[in-house]
Amino acid sequence: MLILGSFPSTASLAAQQYYAHPQNQFWRILGAVIGQPLQELDYAARIAAVQAAGIAIWDVFASCQRAGSLDTAIREALPNPLAALQESAPALRRVCFNGRTAARRVREVEALGFEALVLPSTSPAHAGMRFEEKLARWRAALQVGA
């Protein structure tokens, strides 16, 4: 399984870690889904736990121009080569998109033969949905081991 975000936030780029902004709910949600206290672990342990659960993390964009961290500010985006996933990750079956901006490439992923699911963004900018609802949707989509 692969979780695709759009592009790392300023905090993530500075920390060289996915989902480093303290208000981003990614680690809290994913931890609840896989039954691991990801928020309490150091970054290397988080990544190891996620990989052990059969999940990878990546972004749909390799680079972009953006003032701040909002997806709506992304300009001149260079896409990551998602078609390469067929060769580099032959066991990959399901791709989950973290939010609508990442999901702009859902048709491309489906055309490659992967199951593609769009999930509510874990970003603090997506505050219109309660945590419990986001968690329920992520839990249903990820179904670790399914």
pLDDT in tens, 90-145: 999 999 999 999 999 999 999 999 999 999 999 877 678 899 999 999 999 998 55
Q: What CATH number labels 2-142?
A: 3.40.470.10
> Buried b / exposed e across 106-145, counting CB within 10 Å, b at 16+?
beebeeeebebbbbbbbbebbeeeeeeebbebbeebbeee
Concatenating the DSSP letter of every residue in 49-117 gives: HHHHTT-EEEESEEEEE-SSS-GGG-EEEEEP-GGGHHHH-TT--EEEEESTTGGGGHHHHHHTT-EEE
| Cα–Cα distance, 9 to 81 (Å, whole number) | 20
Contact 117, 97 (CB under 8 A): yes
For residue 119, give the 3-state DSSP assignment: strand
State the pLDDT at residue 102.
94
Q: Active-site residue 80, yes or no? A: no
Q: Is the pLDDT of residue 83 over 60?
A: yes
pLDDT at 146 over 60: no
| Active-site annotation holder among 24, 25, 101, 121 | 24
What is the pLDDT averaged over residues 51-57?
Answer: 96
Question: Could you tell me which residues come within 8 angstroms of residue 48 by beta carbon, excluding any fewer than 6 positions away?
Answer: none
Domain ranges of the chain: 2-142
Could you tell me what percent of the chain has a pLDDT over 70?
Answer: 97
The per-residue pLDDT for 74 is: 87
When the pLDDT of each residue in the chain is averaged and rounded to a whole number, the result is: 92
| Global confidence as pTM | 0.92
